[in-house]
Amino acid sequence: MATGTWQEVAIDEIVRRTPRVVSVFLRLRLPASLAGQHLDLRLTAPDGYQAQRSYSIASAPGAARVELMVERLDDGEVSPWFHDVAEAGDTLEARGPIGGHFVWQPVDGGPLLLVGGGSGVVPLLAMLRLRHAAGHGVPTLLLYSARRHEELICAEELAVMAQADPSLRLVFVTTREPRRRPGDFDRRLDDALLREALADWSHAPASAFVCGATPFVEVIASGLRAAGLDAATIRTERYGGT
Ligand SMILES: Cc1cc2nc3c(=O)[nH]c(=O)nc-3n(C[C@H](O)[C@H](O)[C@H](O)COP(=O)(O)OP(=O)(O)OC[C@H]3O[C@@H](n4cnc5c(N)ncnc54)[C@H](O)[C@@H]3O)c2cc1C
C-alpha cells in the first residue's frame, strides 16, 4: 500500500480487549511500517458523508495482519462504530503507514522509556512486540496508566514478555483501584511518581516515548523535563481530548 493513497481494506476480525477497547484486525500487510506509526482510516456513510480518524498500529512491522485498537468514546462519531456496528468482512479505506518522529527501531537502542495512558499504549505495544521478536535486550521501562486493572490492554501479554526478559521492566499505574503487584502504583502518574519510577529503574533514558490523551501527554512530558530529561529525547503522540 502506498503511504499517501487511500486503499479499500476489509476488517478480518474484531476482538474485545477490555470493556472499552477492541482490536480491529485488517486484511492488510504493511512490510515497510515502523513501530509507532499510525494509519488514517476513512469511513463513508451511504449518503456520502465521510469521517476520518487516525489509529496507531499495534502489530509489529511485517505482521501478517495489521492490528489497530480502538477505545470507545461514548459521545464519539467513529469509535463507537467499531464497537457496535463493524464486523468481519466490512470494508473501509486506509492510508499509511504515517509518522516518522514517533518511531523506534532496534538499531535506535536505548535505554528506552515508554509512558502510555489508556489507549496511548498502542504504539508502545508495537515497539515492545518488535523489541521482543528481535530478541533485543535494550533496557526498557514501560509505565502504563489506566483507571482499573480490567482496562489495561494486553496486560497478560506484557507480563509474559517482562517475565521472560529481565531487561524489560513493566510498571502498571491504576488510578482507581489498588495495585496488585509490588513495584506498581495506584495513584495518578505525576511528577513525583515519574521521579520515583525513574530512580527505581536506575537507567538514564536515551529516548522517551509518551502517548495518550493530550492532557496526559502534556503532564508527563513536563514531568520528564522536571525529572532532568533533555527535551530532545522526549517524543510525544497526542490522541486528542481536553
Ligand atoms: C496519531 C493518532 C493516533 C491515534 N491512535 C489511536 C488509537 O490507537 N486508539 C484510539 O482509540 N484512538 C486513537 N487516536 C484517537 C482517534 O483518532 C480518535 O480521535 C478517537 O477514536 C475519537 O474519535 P471519535 O470519532 O470516536 O470521537 P470524536 O467524535 O472525534 O470526539 C468525541 C469527543 O471526544 C473527545 N475526544 C477525542 N479524542 C479523545 C481522546 N483521545 N481522549 C479523550 N477525549 C477525546 C472530543 O474532544 C469530543 O469531545 C489517535 C489519534 C491520533 C492523532
Last residue of a domain, one of 75, 98, 121: 98
Q: Is 114 among the domain residues?
A: yes
pTM for this model (two decimals): 0.97
Residue nearest atom 45 in ligand 1 by C-alpha distance: 241
Same domain, 113 and 232: yes
The reported pLDDT for the residue numbered 174 is: 98
Same domain, 110 and 92: no
Mean pLDDT of the chain: 95
Same domain, 72 and 178: no
Does the CB atom of residue 137 touch ligand 1 within 6 A?
Answer: no
The enclosing H or E element of 195 equals helix 191-201
Whole-number Å distance, alpha carbon 118 to ligand 1 midpoint, is: 12
Does the CB atom of residue 56 touch ligand 1 within 6 A?
Answer: yes
> If you search the block for the grid coordinates 456513510, which residue do you land on?
45
Does the CB atom of residue 73 touch ligand 1 within 6 A?
Answer: yes
Q: What is the rounded average pLDDT of the residues 76-101?
A: 96
- Full domain range(s) for residue 11: 7-98
Does the CB atom of residue 211 touch ligand 1 within 6 A?
Answer: no
Whole-number Å distance, alpha carbon 151 to ligand 1 midpoint, is: 17
The reported pLDDT for the residue numbered 135 is: 84
> pLDDT (tens digit, 9 = 90+) per residue, 158-188?
999 999 999 999 999 999 999 999 999 999 9
Output the CA angle 161-34-102, nearest 5 degrees: 90
Going through 19-158 in order, the beta strands assigned E by DSSP cover 21-26, 38-44, 50-56, 66-71, 91-98, 112-117, 140-146
Q: What is the rounded average pLDDT of the residues 57-78?
A: 96
Helices 214-226 and 191-201, axial angle in degrees (round to 10): 60
**What would the 3-class secondary structure string for 148-193 be?**
CHHHCCCHHHHHHHHHCCCCEEEEEEECCCCCCCCCCECCCCCHHH
The reported pLDDT for the residue numbered 4 is: 82
Does the CB atom of residue 98 touch ligand 1 within 6 A?
Answer: no
- Position 16 confidence tier, pLDDT thresholds 50, 70, 90: very high
Residue nearest atom 51 in ligand 1 by C-alpha distance: 239
Cβ neighbours around 76 below 10 Å, total: 15
The reported pLDDT for the residue numbered 202 is: 85
> pLDDT (tens digit, 9 = 90+) per residue, 39-62?
999 999 999 999 999 999 999 998
Question: Per the structure, how many domains does the chain have?
Answer: 2
Q: Is the pLDDT of residue 31 over 80?
A: no
Q: Is the pLDDT of residue 1 over 80?
A: no
Last residue of a domain, one of 98, 128, 155: 98
The reported pLDDT for the residue numbered 2 is: 59
Last residue of a domain, one of 79, 98, 117: 98
Does the CB atom of residue 55 touch ligand 1 within 6 A?
Answer: yes
Q: Is the pLDDT of residue 150 over 70?
A: yes
Output the CA angle 35-200-190, nearest 5 degrees: 70
Q: Is the pLDDT of residue 29 over 90?
A: no
Cβ neighbours around 53 below 10 Å, total: 19
Whole-number Å distance, alpha carbon 54 to ligand 1 midpoint, is: 8
Does the CB atom of residue 77 touch ligand 1 within 6 A?
Answer: yes
